[in-house]
Amino acid sequence: MVGETTRAAAPALDLSVLIVSWNVAGLLSRCLASIEAQSQPTDWPHVRWLPLLDGEAPAALEVIVVDNASADDTVARIRRDFPWVQVQANADNAGFSRGNNQALARSHGRWLLFLNPDTEVRPGALAAMLRFMQAHAEAGVVGPRLLYPDGSVQSSRRRFPSALTAFWESTLLEQWWPHNPWARRYRLEDTPDTTVQAVDWLVGACLMIPRAVMEQVGGWDEGFFMYSEELDLCRRIKQAGWQVVFTPQAEVIHHEGKSSEQIVAARHLRFQASKVRYVRKYHGRLAAGGLRLFLLATYAWQLVEEAVKWLIGHKRPLRAERVTAYWGLLRSGLKM
């Protein structure tokens, strides 16, 4: 129409921040606020500018949250306090991998940042990771240094586990000998976390990945409801010829496990069942079958131990909760 001002088309998006959330409205608000604080609004409702270095054009970013049927006010709070964020409200809990794939399908950025809702991105971290990706074409994944809320370093670098690794990781064997040499090597405690380095895989609280890489490997494996999914993804990316890189120049606070700690029994089941699935996928059915029997035997032992403590009257509410959790896990057979 004559005299009408034509609005400019939205810029091509450089970065899509993708978050899957479940019942952590308060922490998610802090996460989104940390992104908002280091970006600037634009004329487009779901696009923000991310300043880079002096003289460089800012990057255009979007944020997409997939909410997995939270019972709290997550969706309403985002729409009220962060109208620039896109929200998909699932009718049921689709799981972490499927939720990430849903966010991925809605996104438009050249680079993708898969971010947990219980994180806070420190100033400059988004720009540091994006600049690293722009400068290193060989990188298929880059992850920051993760910090606990008190500022101490959270272990996030890993070597690929062997089939035997699964027998001690988060089992009674690790409780009995937590600082064994195999665990230290698996967690890369024999190398400093102060330099940029290629690793096998990274804890999935914050991972930046080029869209082209995600398209090449086919996205997240939805057979992993949660746990082991980032290990599987990094392994497939490395198999495709890309590097997985840790960069301490970017730092992200991670309030670890705030969603899963709400359902302790389900957390045990999903963690161990995902571990069995990973071993079956990469080490074969025989190794996975042996692991499953071993895990079931350790949980049977723990059930008996907790039942005895309940009988003698030691912290009965706690013992009853654990007996219920272990019994449910044994009944599941570690199958999902």
List, for residues 321-336, the tens digit of each pLDDT value: 888 888 888 888 887 5
Pair 224, 267 in one domain: no
Looking at residue 106, its pLDDT comes to 96
d(CA 85, CA 283): 41
Q: Residue 37: helix, strand or coil by DSSP?
A: helix
Q: Which of 231, 256, 281 is the last residue of a domain?
A: 256
Strand ranges (E), the chain:
15-21, 40-41, 48-50, 59-67, 86-89, 111-115, 119-121, 139-147, 153-154, 157-158, 197-199, 201-202, 206-210, 243-254
Is the pTM value of this prediction over 0.75? yes
**Assigned token pair, 248:** 């301490």
Pair 23, 73 in one domain: yes
Interhelix angle 74-81/25-37, nearest 10 degrees: 20
Pair 217, 284 in one domain: no
Pair 88, 234 in one domain: yes
- Is residue 1's pLDDT more than 60? no
Matching residue, tokens 């001690």: 168
Pair 32, 136 in one domain: yes
197: phi then psi, degrees, rounded to nearest 5: -155, 145
Q: Residue 113: helix, strand or coil by DSSP?
A: strand
Question: What is the span of the domain harbouring residue 147?
Answer: 15-160+200-256
Count the domains in the chain: 2
- Is residue 3's pLDDT more than 50? no
